[in-house]
Structure 1
Amino acid sequence: MEDIRKILFATDFSAISAKAQDYALFLRDKLGCELEIVHVFDPDTFNMPTPYYFMPGVETWLDDHITTMKKKGREALDEISATTGDCPTTFLEGKTGSALCEFANEHKFDMIVMGTHGHTGFNRLILGSVAEYVVRHAHCSVLTIKPNET
């Protein structure tokens, strides 16, 4: 365990991310290591089918909406940082899984802590799984936190 000096906590601001945050804070406190919080904004999630691009004003609306979402994401990161003892935060843009793995590798993190929504079957096939991608491609250990079973 002494090899874990830097932990990256990845959040999407969901309830399961809040649970994963508790694990990240626990590990930080027990191991006395650094903790950084990251959120990845994926602008591709706002892609619209082509016909909508021909509607008057849709480009302006979409740009405004994306700008607002980025601002809210940065504000949410600041709020989390304030509740965790002012941990450093990073706001990234791109494909979530690959952006997380690249950032963790570039900054030499020893562990990534993140929640997973536990998609299975058809949903996982169609939607993909960020957590699965990160587990498969990260250079370091990954702790994934599952939602409580209902």
Structure 2
Amino acid sequence: MNCCQQKGSSMKKILLTIDGSNASLDAARFLVRLGFRQAVEIDVVTVIFEPPSQKGFLVDGWSKGWLKRKRDQATRTFEEVQAIFRDSDAELCHLIRNGHPGETIVKLANELQPDLVVVGAKGHSAVARILLGSTSDYVATHVLSSVLVVRPNEGSGRRRHLRVAIGCEPSPPAEMAFEEFTQLGWSIDNDVQVVSVTDRSSVDDSSVDEAAKEYLERIKDRLVEDSRSARARVIHSDHIGDGLVDYIESNQVDLIVVGETSRGGFERLLLGSTTRFVLRHAPSSVLIARGQSMDDVQTEQMVHQTAST
């Protein structure tokens, strides 16, 4: 099977990371449930990590057997992913790379320039909310493409349709999040909610509330072809991130879509405060929409290369 790198193809391109863990397979299953209205190309990447402490014994003949076992395991996992996508209109291919998982995935994503990178997160413990040093956090922070971090959610498996919330406000990042959702062509079977967070003090200012409601209604009307049901909701909170997370928890949202502005230099290392807060604290899966043009991506790559030299 040839890998999905056809130039000029109009098909959406996705980079799905797998490592054999339940989290990565859950990411594949979640992607299938989101569904697509058109065929997609999915590069499934497995990174074989050689810990520094293992470098010594990997120089002898035994290392070949160790690497072969790892590659065989990766192939078996890919076969599981193929079975997950069996009834979908997706073209899959498998890429195996050696190296640091996070760095290798980011490098590959910047080379292939997919429309979306998908990575699974391993749970959401209290410690994880404070320090997210995982591969999924590294990828979400450093990759140039939009990224979907899939977090385990038992409730979503019991529901017929996934519940998707899109954080909306009259700003470029929020518009980007909305456009990202529509352009990726998700299945219309999902329940979509457009949500705007206004300052709690605006409860007494009807003009602010009305303006937010009018904006959300316009956004909702644009979702006619993208969701079987769409709702709009204005919520009040002193902190946008807190408001979104509380809404996700109380409404059992399966996926939150948030936008992020184009990054450069130091900003690449630190996501915007609201985006980062949602990624750290949301119990749902998170799609960070970057919506960068190819010129933006190439500029980011040049900045990154310059910073590395």
Could you tell me the TM-score, scaled by structure 2's length?
0.38
CA contact (8 A) 1:20 1:145 kept: yes
Residue deviations 1:47-86 (CA, integer Å, cap 9, x gap):
3598xx6xxxxx5555533331222212322342354246
Q: CA deviation at 1:13?
A: 1.6
* Structure 1 counterpart of 2:143: 138
* Structure 2 counterpart of 1:87: 92
CA RMSD between the two structures: 3.2
Residue deviations 1:4-42 (CA, integer Å, cap 9, x gap):
821111111222222210232345533533222111111
SS of 1:67's equivalent in the other structure is helix
Alignment CA distance shift 1:132-1:115 (3 Å): same
Q: Measure the CA separation in 2 of the matches of 1:141 and 1:4.
A: 16
* Structure 1 counterpart of 2:12: 5
Q: Measure the CA separation in 1 of the matches of 2:84 and 2:106.
A: 25
CA contact (8 A) 2:14 2:41 kept: yes
Structure number with greater Rg is 2
* Structure 1 counterpart of 2:28: 21
CA contact (8 A) 1:81 1:89 kept: no
Structure 1 window deviating more from structure 2 (78-87 vs 137-146): it is 78-87
User: What letter matches 1:104 in structure 2?
Assistant: A
User: Within 5 Å, which residues of 2 pair with 1:1-150?
Assistant: 5-27=12-34, 29-44=36-51, 47-48=53-54, 61=62, 63-85=64-86, 87-117=92-122, 118=124, 121=127, 128-148=133-153
Q: Measure the CA separation in 2 of the matches of 1:128 and 1:60.
A: 33
How many aligned positions are there? 138
Structure 1 window deviating more from structure 2 (128-137 vs 59-68): it is 59-68
Alignment CA distance shift 1:70-1:136 (3 Å): same
Instruction: Report sequence identity in percent.
Output: 26
Q: Which structure's relative contact order is higher, taking Cα pairs within 8 Å and 6+ residues apart? A: 1
Structure number with higher helix proportion: 1
Structure 1 window deviating more from structure 2 (17-26 vs 89-98): it is 17-26
Q: Measure the CA separation in 1 of the matches of 2:69 and 2:55.
A: 21
Structure 1 window deviating more from structure 2 (13-22 vs 98-107): it is 13-22
SS of 2:26's equivalent in the other structure is helix
Q: Structure 1: which 5+ runs fail to align? A: 54-58
Alignment CA distance shift 1:61-1:114 (3 Å): same
